[in-house]
Chain A
Amino acid sequence: MSLNSLLFQALDGLAAASGLFFVAAGLSLIFGVTRIINIAHGSLYMLGTYVAATLANHIGGALGFWGGILTTAVLIGLIGAVIEVVLLRRIYRAPELFQLLATFALVLVINDATLWTWGPEDVLGPRAPGLRGAVEVLGRYLPSYDVFLIAAGPVVLIALHFVLIRTRFGRLIRAATQDREMLGALGVNQALLFTSVFALGSLLSGLGGALQIAREPANLLMDLTVISDAFVVVVVGGMGSIPGAYLAAVVIAEVKALCISIGVVTIAGVAVNVSKLTLVAEFLVMALVLIARPYGLLGRAQSMVRALAEPEDPLRPAGPALKLLGAAAVVALALLPLLARNSPYALVLGIDVLIAVLFAASLHFIMGPGGMHSFGHAAYFGLGAYAAALLVKWFALSMPPALIAAPVVALLGAALFGWFAVRLSGVYLAMLTLAFAQIVWSIVFQWSEVTGGSNGVLGIWPTAPFDNRAALFWLTAALTVVGILLLRTFLFAPFGYAMRAGRDSPLRAEAIGIDVKRVHWIGFTIAGAVCGVAGGVFAFAKGSISPETIDVSRSINGLVMVLLGGIQTLSGPIVGASVFALLQDTIMRQTEYWRALLGGVILLLVLAFPAGIVGGLGKLGTAWRRRP
């Protein structure tokens, strides 16, 4: 590898960085001002690619291409505005993070709508008119379009910077990003500001997508690939910092380009393919940056934002009605295998639902009372699942010791990662947990000799006496009930109060002698261990596991379950997980466009129950009792 080739690869990295920057800048603006974790941002990007490719292919020529890109950007900006006005504006007062649920539903709906509109085949746009060729640099050929992108990134950066520094709109954006309460005091029309920022962010995303048509075909997987990249860039750069986003995009793209250009190297006689590191490069960068700089490269500590939503009500110990309901649920679980003799599927589904419930309850433990929004909770599910599976596979352990090992390994993982994570807060904590989960995922994915790589571990079946559905169901039910009761007991015990104290007011908690980080760390570790139980049971229930147990989508599903049920109630995760798992099972079976339908149902639930299902039912109950 020569110096020239390294330098040239740096140019490739810059071109890639510009692409990352466009989509990340929009996301950063939206988060900075509205504090919404907008996971539909990638979907708008994907939509931008489809629309621009279609315009360019059908109109043709320079007008179709360049005109199409601009038209697309404006169009996607308008769609963003509509989403904000029609959907998000209705739920700004919901508990924090709830908007994530709405944008998750949008991801599902937009993906299916795109499939319905454009069909399953990838749509390749034309090459850019005027920039079809390549220029010779350092004895190699660099596509002219890459040269254009390398320049376009900084141009957009400077333009945005100018808007933010020089215009009233920009000043408002900065004010809102730094101190939202001051903004309210200034008498700014907040609704209008939010809508316009959402439109601007979406426009940038659409622009980023549209500019990609000369480089890659529009396809249905873009939404999720892009969103994870974009979040990483935004967080590494520092939420709300546009120059930070550009810097982060450059760092990440260059690290990847370097890994690729190194290729295969021999270290101590072993050939190592460094290009495989691109699987996890951005997450490694993110973890390192966040550990060293808790607010990203150019980010600043955010002022405490007093949430728009009401804080939660004090915890009440279960009243007679709830105790009765709980007892009835336990009895029903115990009897189900007897009642369902003729429909064994009820048990199969029941096991899946119970695993989801335990998963969600353990996530809620740190997310709700702990205020730590883990976006990587699947890591501990996966650690539990793999611990059990690998012990069975390599050490021929039987089921009971493997099931004991599952939470132990998950606990160790959570203790390690949690130690770093609790030093951060808010979205930075969330993204660090995600980075750790992705690192675990990539190790499992890549270490084929031990973990079976992408295929996973096969042949993990329950041993007697749990080798029939009824017994396995009982076991799962027992573990889930015990797990939930344990978590509940912890929450009512001094430890739970300390954890909530640390969430409600870290300053006050420290001033009464509570070591908030330590308490949260222990909470994180407990949640990881309980989650590991769910993972261990999962491995035996399925007979095989693969890296998908650690996938981002499982972490996101966990968030969705907790938010759907209601983050501010203890039974929320139980109801949310049950509803989500059953909904998914039912809808998947019944319709071709099940994703859109699932998204649609979640949207309805979001609008009907802005405090989650249990929160909403609680309010219904209060209204019922107070009726004249």
Chain B
Amino acid sequence: MSVLSVASLSKSFGALRAVNDVSFSVREGEFLALIGPNGAGKSTCFNMINGQLRPNAGEIRFAGRNIAGLPPRAIFRLGVGRTFQIAATFGSMTAIENVQTALISHAGETYRFWRPAAARHRERALALLNQVGMRDAALRSSRELAYGDSKRLEFAIALANEPRLLLMDEPTAGMAPRERNELIALVKRLVVERKISVLFTEHSMDVVFAFADRIIVMARGRLIADGDAKSIRENPRVQEVYFGTGKAFEPKPQSAR
């Protein structure tokens, strides 16, 4: 059974057809990678699913409902968690407050004016931080965290609404290779435990081939391939697209941001 199914999704910016008739689905418990060279339309596609962009045409069905055109906050409410390419946390809060804020929102308590936020969902927030290995940093200001830790914190935030689907935009961007593998291993372990489906985009082919259950490939706005690591690696069109743009399937050195 699929958690998310995208059908004939299209988006144009002026004359540019950024996403052109794209269809795919994410199955229950699946770890699905969306890859493609720069300008392939990954981000546009991703941003339509998370609600930041409104598609021109097509359907995005999540949990049996068309979510195309809904704002991000509504999609969150339906049970979709999300991480950003550049970790986005609330800089003026501690790590635990970041998670608490998400838990409060999930519990529908945003418009409460009396009992302090710090006293709400504390145990649950600590448990989440513990799961991402951040319990000791709970009281640290989130802006002081190392980049890798911010990513972990963001992951904890994304788990706060007990999502059925997690959207991760380049989860390892800007991280050193070792950190990168650790983070993805952690993500994978937790989502498997919780039977969460994941759709992620990724530049690092290492990560993709090592962890993804299935891979879909976009180029020039269209979906060109769909399969497991082996079949994608051997797919001539994929190879052409990547070699054509001068990108190889070797892990390229990532500069730290």
CB 8 Å contact bits of B99-113 with A (1 = contact, 0 = none): 011101110011111
Q: How far is the CA of A314 from the CA of B109 in the complex (A)?
A: 20
B71 interface neighbour in A501, A510, A512, Cβ under 8 Å: A510
Determine whether A615 belongs to the interface, using a CB cutoff of 8 Å to chain B: no
Q: How does the 8 Å CB contact mask read for A288-314 relative to B, with 1 for contact and 0 for none?
A: 000000000000000000000011111
**Residues A495 and B113 in contact, CB atoms below 8 Å apart:** yes
| Chain-B contact segment, one of A139-147, A432-440, A486-494 | A486-494
The answer to whether A311 and B76 have CB atoms under 8 Å apart is no
The reply to whether A314 and B94 form a contact with Cβ atoms under 8 Å apart is yes
Q: Within the assembled complex, what's the spacing in Å between the Cα atoms of A510 and B47?
A: 13
Q: Which residues of A contact B161 (CB under 8 A)?
A: 512-513
CA distance A288 to B82 in the complex (A): 37
Whether B106 and A513, one on each chain, are in contact in the complex, defined by CB atoms closer than 8 angstroms, is: yes
The residue that B117 contacts in the complex, of A310, A496, A514, with Cβ under 8 A, is A496
A508–B89 CB distance below 8 A: yes
Once bound together, how far apart are the Cα atoms of A512 and B117, in whole Å? 16
The answer to whether the Cβ of A497 comes within 8 Å of any Cβ in the partner chain is: yes
B117:A314 contact, CB within 8 angstroms: no
Check B50–A511 contact: CB distance below 8 A.
yes
Task: Please tell me if the beta carbons of B111 and A494 are within 8 angstroms of each other in the complex.
Answer: yes
**How far is A55 from B126 in the complex, measured between Cα atoms in Å?**
72
How many whole Å from A307's CB to the nearest CB in chain B? 10
Is B241 interfacial (CB 8 A cutoff)?
Answer: no
Give A529 Cβ to nearest chain B Cβ, in Å: 13
Q: How far is the CB of B216 from chain A (nearest CB, A)?
A: 23
In the assembled complex, the Cα of A434 lies from the Cα of B120 at a distance in Å of: 38
Residues of B within 8 A of A507 (CB): 52, 72, 84, 88
Tell me the B69-118 residues at the A interface (CB within 8 Å): 71-73, 76-77, 82, 84, 88-94, 97, 100-102, 104-106, 109-118
Number of A-B pairs, beta carbon distance below 8 Å: 114
A495 and B111 contact, CB distance less than 8 A? yes
The winner among B92, B112, B118, B157 for most chain A CB atoms within 10 A is B92
Whether B157 and A512, one on each chain, are in contact in the complex, defined by CB atoms closer than 8 angstroms, is yes
Residue A39 at the chain B interface, CB threshold 8 Å: no
Contact string against B for A residues 496-516, beta-carbon threshold 8 Å, 1 for contact and 0 otherwise: 111011011101111111110
From the candidates A312, A313, A492, A497, name the one contacting B104 in the complex (CB within 8 A). Answer: A497
State A311–B144 Cα separation when bound (angstroms): 10
Contacts of A492 in B (CB 8 A): 116-118
Say yes or no: A495 contacts B112, CB within 8 Å: yes
Contact of A493 among B73, B106, B115 (CB under 8 A): B115
Nearest residue (CB) in B for A507 is B88
Q: Give the distance to chain A from B56, nearest Cβ to Cβ, in Å.
A: 21
Please, which residues of chain B bring their CB within 8 A of the CB of A493?
A: 112-117
Cα A501 to Cα B160 in complex, Å, equals 15
Cα-based distance from A413 to B129 in the complex (angstroms) = 43
Scoring B residues 129 to 172 as 1 if CB is less than 8 Å from chain A, else 0, what string do you get?
00000000000010100000000000001001100000000000
* A513→B73 contact, CB < 8 A: yes
Closest CB in chain B relative to A315 CB, distance in Å: 8
A287, CB-defined interface residue at 8 Å: no
- From B82, B110, B115, B120, A514 is in contact (CB under 8 Å) with B110
Q: Is the CB of B120 within 8 A of A494?
A: yes
Q: Which residue of A317, A494, A513 contacts B112 across the interface (Cβ within 8 Å)?
A: A494
**Residue on A with the closest CB to B74?**
A513
The residue in A313, A495, A508, A511 that gathers the most chain B C-beta atoms within 10 A of its C-beta is A511
B106 touches A505 (CB 8 A): no
A508's nearest neighbour on chain B, judged by CB, is: B88
Contact partner, B72, options A494, A497, A511, A522, Cβ 8 Å: A511
In the complex, chain B residues whose CB is within 8 Å of the CB of A495: 110-113
Q: Which residue of B lies closest to A490 (CB)?
A: B113
For B71, give the chain A residue with the smallest CB separation. A510
Q: Are A510's CB and B72's CB within 8 A?
A: yes
8 A Cβ contacts from A451-506 to B: 489-490, 492-498, 500-501, 503-505
Decide if A347 is an interface residue (CB 8 Å cutoff).
Answer: no
Q: Which one, B109, B111, B160, contacts A512 given CB within 8 A?
A: B160
B90 touching A500 by the CB < 8 A rule?
yes
Residues in A with CB closer than 8 Å to B116 are 317, 492-493
Q: What is the CA–CA distance of A494 and B89 in the complex, to the nearest angstrom?
A: 16
| Residue contact A494 to B90, C-beta cutoff 8 Å | no
Closest chain-B Cβ to A235's Cβ sits at a distance in Å of: 27
- Of all chain A residues, the one with the shortest Cβ separation from B95 is A314
CB-defined contacts of B71 to chain A, threshold 8 Å: 510
Residue among B77, B97, B104, B161 with most chain A CB within 10 A: B104
Interface pair B101/A501, CB less than 8 Å apart? yes
Contact of A314 with B89 in the complex, beta carbons under 8 Å: no
Q: Counting chain A CB atoms within 10 Å of each CB, which of B77, B102, B115 scores highest?
A: B102
Residue A519 at the chain B interface, CB threshold 8 Å: yes
B106/A497 in contact, CB under 8 A: no
Tell me the smallest distance from the CB of B232 to a CB of chain A, in Å: 29
Query: B89 to A497, Cβ gap below 8 A?
Result: no
* A residues less than 8 Å from B94 (CB atoms): 314
Q: Which residues of B contact A510 (CB under 8 A)?
A: 71-73, 76
Cβ < 8 Å to A, chain B residues 161-208: 161
What is the minimal beta-carbon distance from A622 to any residue of chain B, in angstroms? 14
Contact B91 A311 (CB under 8 A): yes
The smallest C-beta distance from A127 to any residue of chain B, in angstroms, reads: 53
Q: In angstroms, how far is the closest chain A Cβ from the Cβ of B107? A: 9
Q: CB distance B113 to A497 under 8 Å? A: no
Instruction: Using A501-B101, A510-B76 as known contacts, list a sample of 19 further A-B pairs with CB atoms less than 8 Å apart, ordered by residue number in A.
Output: A489-B113, A489-B114, A494-B101, A494-B111, A496-B117, A497-B101, A497-B104, A498-B105, A500-B90, A504-B91, A507-B52, A508-B84, A509-B90, A510-B71, A511-B72, A512-B102, A512-B105, A512-B106, A514-B101
Could you list which residues of chain B lie within 8 angstroms of chain A, going by C-beta atoms? Answer: 50, 52, 71-73, 76-77, 82, 84, 88-94, 97, 100-102, 104-106, 109-118, 120, 141, 143, 157, 160-161
Instruction: Pull 7 A–B residue pairs with CB atoms less than 8 Å apart, ordered by A.
Output: A494-B109, A507-B52, A507-B88, A512-B73, A512-B106, A513-B102, A522-B111
Partner-B contacts on A (CB < 8 A): 310-315, 317, 489-490, 492-498, 500-501, 503-505, 507-515, 519, 522
